[in-house]
Chains A and B, each alone.
Chain A
Amino acid sequence: NAGVMQNPRHLVRRRGQEARLRCSPMKGHSHVYWYRQLPEEGLKFMVYLQKENIIDESGMPKERFSAEFPKEGPSILRIQQVVRGDSAAYFCASSRQGGVDLTSTDTQYFGPGTRLTVL
């Protein structure tokens, strides 16, 4: 059973460009979480999605960031007009079960992350 896949593993963008990060959850998982790790910081929650629905985006910046998890295909985290402060490692996790909110003890399985560098 393949784990959570993320691509690309490394992404370099110039200021003002768009970054698209992809996450394929584990087989049988329909709940996806995105986290960001800034330098010298811990993992910070950004958004929780189920298929075709955003359940909680309380950790996502209001501007330039968006996320989707379509019925078919991977979850996408999109960052428009990137700035240097967006440079970070972005991790995706998936779980088999979830809930109507973030209340769940189901284990989240993490991908290897995408390291975004903005020049």
Chain B
Amino acid sequence: ILNVEQSPQSLHVQEGDSTNFTCSFPSSNFYALHWYRWETAKSPEALFVMTLNGDEKKKGRISATLNTKEGYSYLYIKGSQPEDSATYLCAFNQAGTALIFGKGTTLSVSS
């Protein structure tokens, strides 16, 4: 059974702190890793799609890295702001399979 684990489950930081969280996935037959940002009462919003080992993607203060050989991806947020408060989901797929989502890391940023 393919499983995607995200840690920590929740995180509380102060405004201005930088933070990171982890997504772990099976390292065999890797095809793609997706990151989403999901604010309460809204739709999940796509952040990154990553396919290459060693890839690093950046969008504003948010960046992500990918290690397909060991099966993990890190999401970093630099200088957290209250508007970054959301649940961050990662989803993994192998060729021919559906996206398998983790349960997410819920980030809360206080001002």
- A residues near B, CB below 8 A? 3-4, 33, 35, 41-45, 48, 56, 58-59, 91, 101-103, 105, 107-113
Contact = CB atoms under 8 A, between A and B. Distances in A.
Contact of B43 (A41, A42, A107, A111): A111
Interface residues of B, number: 26
Interface stretch (B13-21, B61-69, B73-81, B88-96): B88-96
B35 to A, nearest CB: 11
Contact of A107 (B4, B46, B102): B46
Contacts, number: 59
B11 interface: no
Given A41-B103, A42-B102, A42-B104, A102 B89 contact: no
B49 A44 contact: no
Given A105-B32, A105-B51, A107-B49, A58 B43 contact: no
Contacts of A3: 43
A109 B46 contact: yes
Contacts of B32: 105
23 contacts: A3-B43, A35-B101, A41-B103, A42-B89, A42-B103, A43-B44, A43-B99, A43-B101, A45-B100, A59-B98, A101-B96, A102-B96, A102-B98, A103-B31, A105-B32, A105-B51, A108-B46, A109-B43, A110-B36, A110-B44, A112-B41, A112-B42, A113-B43
Interface string B32-50: 1010100001111110010
Nearest to A101: B96
Nearest 4 A/B pairs, CB to CB: A45-B98, A43-B101, A42-B101, A42-B103
Nearest to B31: A103
